[in-house]
A and B are shown apart, each in its own frame.
Chain A
Amino acid sequence: MPLVLPPSVLGFYLLMAFSPKHGIGELLHNAFDIQLVFSFKGLVLASIIYSMPFMIGPIKSALQQLPLSLSQASYTLGKSERETFIKVLLPNIRASVLTAAILTFAHTLGEFGVVLMIGGNIPGVTRVASIAVYNSVETMDYHAANIYSMILFCITFAMVISVFVFNKYKAKSPLE
C-alpha cells in the first residue's frame, strides 16, 4: 500500500496511528514513554514504512531470478537456510541490494508529504531538506531555496551516478 497511497494519506494514517491518544502510539507512550508524533524518531519510522516497498521490491525480484538449484545445491551440501541465504543468495544479489538501498535512500531524502505530516516542520528537530526548500520558497527566499535544492540535487545525482557506475561492471554486452 505505501507504494500506491498518496504520501499525505499515508502520513495522515501514520499520524493517527502514532498519536499518543490512540492504539500503538498510546501504548508506546504509556509503556515506554516514546513519543513518535512530531519527533525525529517518528519521522524516521514513518520514512521507513513509506520507503520499504522501494527496497523490498527489487530485492524480492532479484531473489526470484536466481535459479532454485542454487539453494537446492547448498541444502544438499548440509547448509541451513540461513547459511545459504548469507553465503550464497545474498552475495549473488549484491548489486540489486546496493541499487535498491541507494535509490531508496535518495527517494527518502526527497520525501515531503509523510515527513510533513508526522514530523511537522520544527526547526532543528524535524525540518528536513525538502521541507526547508518549501519553506524558503514560501518566504520568497529563493537564494536559500536554491542552495538547499542544489545540495539535494548534487547528492541524488551522485547516488544515481554511483548506481550506474557500479552496475556497469555487472551489465555485459552481448558482443564479446
Chain B
Amino acid sequence: MIHIDIEKKLKAYRGEQVLKISAQFDNGSITKIYGPSGAGKSTFLKIIAGLVEPEQGKISVDDVIWLDTASKTSVSPQKRKVGFVFQNYALFPNMAVQQHLEYVSDDAQWINRLLTIGKLETFTSHKPEYLSGGQQQRLAILRAMAIRPKLMLMDEPFSALDPKMKSELIPGLKSIWDELETTVLIVSHNPQELEGLTAKEMEINPI
C-alpha cells in the first residue's frame, strides 16, 4: 500500500499554484492520473520517485517511509528504485537498445523477454537516434521495467504509439505487472490513450 500526502508549490503563468495531493494506492493496482496541462501531474510522479522534493509531505510504501518532510527523511531515488518512464523518454544517446537494458539488468532471459514484449528484438544494436518515436517510447518503457519495479510511474507512456502497437504492448506489460504485483501510476492528458487498461482514475487539479 502506498500512502501519499504532499504539498508542493508550482510555478504558473499567473503566479503560484499549490499541488496538494492526498492519496492511497493498493499494491498491484493501476491508476490513471489525468488533469489539465500544468496541473503538476509530472511533478507528482517525480515527487514519488524522489526527483523533486515537496515543501511538505509524507510518502510511505508498505510502511517504509520514503519521505517525511517533518523529520527531514528522504530516501534517495536510487534506493526507491521505481520504474520511471519519462515524457521525453530520457534515453541515453550513447547506448544501443540492448545496452539500455543491460545497464539495468544482467539477466539475459529477462532482457530477451522484455525485447519480445516491446517488439524491439531486431533493433538491439540501434542507438536511440536511429529509432522511430514509437520505438524510443517502447524502449523507455522496457528500460523502466528492466529493474522489476514494485512501483511503476509512467508519464504519457503511450503517446507515440499507434493503436495497433499499443494494443499489442499493453497485454505484455500487464502480464509482467501482475507477475511482479507492480503498482502502476500512469499520467495522461488524453483518456483515450489508456484504452485497454482497466484502471482506477485520479484527477489532479492544483489549487
Q: Which residues of A pack against B, CB within 8 Å?
A: 67, 69-70, 72-80, 87-88, 91-92, 94
Q: List 22 A-B contacts (CB under 8 A).
A: A69-B90, A70-B92, A72-B51, A72-B90, A73-B86, A73-B92, A75-B50, A75-B78, A76-B77, A76-B81, A76-B82, A76-B84, A77-B103, A77-B143, A77-B146, A77-B147, A78-B78, A78-B147, A79-B78, A80-B78, A87-B103, A88-B92
Q: Kindly state the separation between the CA atoms of A94 and B92 in the bound complex, as whole angstroms.
A: 13
Quick check: is B49 within 8 A (CB to CB) of the other chain? Answer: yes
Q: Kindly state the separation between the CA atoms of A162 and B26 in the bound complex, as whole angstroms.
A: 58
Q: Decide yes or no: A91 and B94 within 8 Å by CB, A75-B78, A77-B103 being known contacts.
A: yes
CB-based contact A76/B51 at 8 Å: yes
Q: Kindly state the separation between the CA atoms of A8 and B92 in the bound complex, as whole angstroms.
A: 44
Q: Which of B90, B93, B103 has the most CB of A within 10 A?
A: B90
Chain A interface helix/strand/loop/mixed: helix
B contacts with A, residue count (CB < 8 A): 26
Chain B, residues 71-111, CB within 8 Å of chain A (1/0): the string is 00000111111111010101111100000000110000000
Q: Decide yes or no: A70 and B51 within 8 Å by CB, A77-B143, A77-B147, A78-B147 being known contacts.
A: no
Interface residues of B in 50-85 (CB under 8 A from A): 50-51, 76-84
Q: In chain A, what residue has the closest Cβ to B140?
A: A73
CB-based contact A69/B103 at 8 Å: no
* Smallest beta-carbon distance B41→chain A, Å: 16
Q: Kindly state the separation between the CA atoms of A69 and B103 in the bound complex, as whole angstroms.
A: 16
Partner of B90, one of A73, A78, A79, A80: A73
CB-based contact A69/B78 at 8 Å: no
CB-based contact A88/B147 at 8 Å: no
Q: Which residues of B pack against A, CB within 8 Å?
A: 46, 49-51, 76-84, 86, 88, 90-94, 103-104, 143-144, 146-147
Partner of A75, one of B51, B88, B104: B51
Q: Kindly state the separation between the CA atoms of A69 and B86 in the bound complex, as whole angstroms.
A: 8
Q: Kindly state the separation between the CA atoms of A88 and B91 in the bound complex, as whole angstroms.
A: 10
What residues on B are CB-neighbors of A70 within 8 Å?
A: 90, 92
* Smallest beta-carbon distance A56→chain B, Å: 22
CB-based contact A92/B86 at 8 Å: no
* Smallest beta-carbon distance B7→chain A, Å: 22
* Smallest beta-carbon distance B110→chain A, Å: 14
What residues on A are CB-neighbors of B77 within 8 Å?
A: 72, 75-76
What residues on A are CB-neighbors of B88 within 8 Å?
A: 67, 69
What residues on A are CB-neighbors of B94 within 8 Å?
A: 88, 91-92, 94
Q: In chain B, what residue has the closest Cβ to A94?
A: B94
Q: In chain B, what residue has the closest Cβ to A79?
A: B78
Q: Kindly state the separation between the CA atoms of A70 and B51 in the bound complex, as whole angstroms.
A: 12
What residues on A are CB-neighbors of B144 within 8 Å?
A: 76-77
CB-based contact B78/A73 at 8 Å: no
* Smallest beta-carbon distance B64→chain A, Å: 16
What residues on A are CB-neighbors of B143 within 8 Å?
A: 73, 77
* Smallest beta-carbon distance B116→chain A, Å: 21
Q: Which of B78, B81, B91 has the most CB of A within 10 A?
A: B78
* Smallest beta-carbon distance A81→chain B, Å: 9
Partner of B81, one of A73, A78, A88: A78
What residues on B are CB-neighbors of A79 within 8 Å?
A: 78, 103
